[in-house]
Structure formats: C-alpha cells, structure tokens
C-alpha cells in the first residue's frame, strides 16, 4: 500500500479532498435516502431519479 494522499491545496492554504459530494439515486425508491443524506452532509447534492425502476420505452413494454 502506498502512503499517498490525492488532495489539493486550497486558495486559503488549507488542503482538500473534494468540494462537493454527489449522491446519485438509481431508482425512485432510493430518492428519499439520497435527499436525507444530502441534507445531512455539507456541500452535498442529491440527484434523484424521476422514474420507478428506470424502465422506459422498450424496457417497460417487455416487463
């Protein structure tokens, strides 16, 4: 294991590892969890999914 840290220097002299955290919901059912976590963590954004099980077009016709 390497002892390397992949951070970066900030303008104010601090160091950082990230600026924002994206919480990506894969289904409609995970949306509330993503939104709740995003409200809890500073500088996080929830990107929620508008469709049930991601089935659209030909996919939904097959199932």
CA gap 14, 49 in Å, rounded:
35
Structure confidence at residue 2 (pLDDT) = 78
Tens-digit pLDDT profile for residues 10-46? 899 998 888 889 999 988 889 999 999 999 999 999 9
CA gap 35, 4 in Å, rounded:
32
Q: How far apart are the first and last CA of the chain?
A: 46
Structure confidence at residue 36 (pLDDT) = 97
């Amino acid at each position: 294991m390497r002892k390397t840290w992949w951070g970066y220097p900030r303008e104010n002299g601090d160091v950082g590892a990230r600026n924002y955290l994206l919480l990506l919901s894969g289904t409609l059912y995970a949306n509330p969890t993503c939104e709740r976590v995003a409200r809890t963590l500073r500088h996080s954004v929830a990107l929620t999914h508008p469709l049930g099980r991601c089935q659209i077009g030909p996919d939904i016709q097959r199932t």
